[in-house]
A and B are shown apart, each in its own frame.
Chain A
């Protein structure tokens, strides 16, 4: 069965520090997708990125970057020059193909990031 592990329960940094959130996954599927979602204190889940298992290129979006390494089954997320507004719980997720054809999302337990001024 698919599994997503976010070993870091909580990380505290000071503003402007770089921080990396780890995500390790397990799957038997050859084609799968990986996601990161952000859940700020207001509670909603905000989609950040979707990555296809065939695309191992790292991606950068502003201060956010993602490092996908199939060899280690990891999909880590780095925030450069963190800001207080980055404080949130971040979830990594993996799609699981069901026999209905639907891709079910399996979520990790989340990493709470606290950025202090």
Chain B
């Protein structure tokens, strides 16, 4: 049973470049989350989707950040243009809904994408 898949695992880019992070949630999970982890701020929820619809994006730091979920098995987090302060580990997580017999707050995390913006 595959877990949450993220790509790339590592990304190094230069300031001003566009960065796209990808996530494939666990099949059957209704919720998808994007988190950012930094030393200064710890783990922060950026945005979450329910059934492919963005529900709460209040954690997205700036307009430079955008996230999409075109279908149940794929989501992207895009940063355009990227800045050095965006350097962090970005996690994608998914969880089932209670209506499907799961626990909607039991989140399963992907391995993360370590982003470095020079």
Q: How far is the CA of A33 from the CA of B107 in the complex (A)?
A: 12
Q: How far is the CA of A7 from the CA of B105 in the complex (A)?
A: 24
Q: CB distance A95 to B112 under 8 Å?
A: no
* B112 (CB) vs chain A CBs: closest residue: A43
Q: CB distance A102 to B104 under 8 Å?
A: yes
B96 at the binding interface (Cβ < 8 Å)? no
Is the interface on chain B under 10, 10 to 19, 20 to 34, or 35 or more residues?
20 to 34
Is the interface on chain A under 10, 10 to 19, 20 to 34, or 35 or more residues?
20 to 34
Q: CB distance B56 to A105 under 8 Å?
A: no
Which residues in B have their C-beta under 8 angstroms from that of A44? Answer: 109-112
Which residues in A have their C-beta under 8 angstroms from that of B12? Answer: none
Chain B residues with CB under 8 Å of chain A are: 31, 42-43, 45, 48, 50, 55-56, 89, 91, 93, 103-112, 114
List 13 other contacts, CB 8 Å, given A105-B45, A108-B42. Answer: A33-B105, A43-B111, A43-B112, A44-B112, A45-B93, A47-B109, A50-B106, A98-B56, A100-B50, A102-B50, A102-B56, A103-B105, A105-B105
